[in-house]
C-alpha cells in the first residue's frame, strides 16, 4: 500500500508510525503482523506509488519486485528502506496507528530524487546546491555512513 501518513515518533528507541484506514484491505495484515517494511520511493517509481495507492496507472507492465530486508518485504528500487518490529496499535478515528521499532534501515540509491506527496499530488524534491549536513538521528552503528 502507499501510505500518506507515515512519521517518526521517537529517536530513543527509534520508533515510526504508519496510519492505516480500518477499511483498507491490508489493515488486518498489519494487525496480524510482527512488523512492516517501509520503502521510501524515488521519483522514478511514481507509477508504483500510484499502483499501491489504488490509482489508475494505465496498462499494467511488469509486476513490481520485492526483496526481503530485516524480515520484511521492501520494494525493489527503493531510495531508502526501514524494517520494523510492531510494538503497538492505537485506534485513531477511522484509522489505526501502527507504532513500530526500527530494527534495520538502509539507503539503496541515495543520489535519487525522492518522490513526495504534497498538496494532494505526487511531486519531486529537487536537490539544492548546498552541501548536505551529515546526521545520525537513529543512533545505529554505521548509520551515519549511509548519509555520507
Q: Mean pLDDT across the stretch 89-97?
A: 95
Residue 75's pLDDT is: 94
At 144, the pLDDT band (50, 70, 90 cuts) reads low
Q: Is the pLDDT of residue 60 over 90?
A: no
Q: Mean pLDDT across the stretch 128-141?
A: 64
Residues 35, 102, 43: CA angle, nearest 5 degrees: 90
Q: What is the dihedral of CA 36, 42, 43, 44, to 10 degrees?
A: -100
Between CA 22 and CA 2 the distance in angstroms is: 15
At 93, the pLDDT band (50, 70, 90 cuts) reads very high
Backbone φ and ψ of 10, nearest 5°: -160, 145
- Domain architecture of the chain: domains with CATH: 6-146 (2.30.110.10)
Backbone φ and ψ of 45, nearest 5°: -105, 25
Q: Mean pLDDT across the stretch 4-20?
A: 91
Identify the weakest region by mean pLDDT among 8-12, 44-48, 84-88, 136-140: 136-140
Q: Is the pLDDT of residue 148 over 70?
A: no
Amino acid at each position: 500500500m502507499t501510505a500518506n501518513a507515515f512519521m517518526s515518533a521517537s529517536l530513543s528507541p527509534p520508533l515510526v508510525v504508519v496510519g492505516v484506514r480500518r477499511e483498507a484491505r491490508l489493515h488486518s495484515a498489519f494487525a496480524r503482523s510482527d512488523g512492516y517494511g517501509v520503502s521510501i520511493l524515488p521519483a522514478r517509481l511514481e507509477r508504483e506509488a500510484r499502483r499501491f495507492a489504488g490509482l489508475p496507472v494505465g496498462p499494467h507492465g511488469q509486476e513490481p519486485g520485492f526483496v526481503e530486508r530485516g524480515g520484511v518485504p521492501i520494494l525493489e528500487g527503493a531510495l531508502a528502506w526501514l524494517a520494523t518490529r510492531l510494538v503497538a496499535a492505537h485506534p485513531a478515528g477511522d484509522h489505526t496507528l501502527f507504532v513500530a521499532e526500527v530494527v534495520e534501515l538502509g539507503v539503496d540509491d541515495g543520489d535519487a530524487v525522492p518522490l513526495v506527496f504534497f498538496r494532494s499530488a505526487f511531486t519531486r524534491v529537487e536537490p539544492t546546491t548546498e552541501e548536505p549536513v551529515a546526521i545520525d538521528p537513529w543512533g545505529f552503528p554505521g548509520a551515519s555512513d549511509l548519509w555520507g
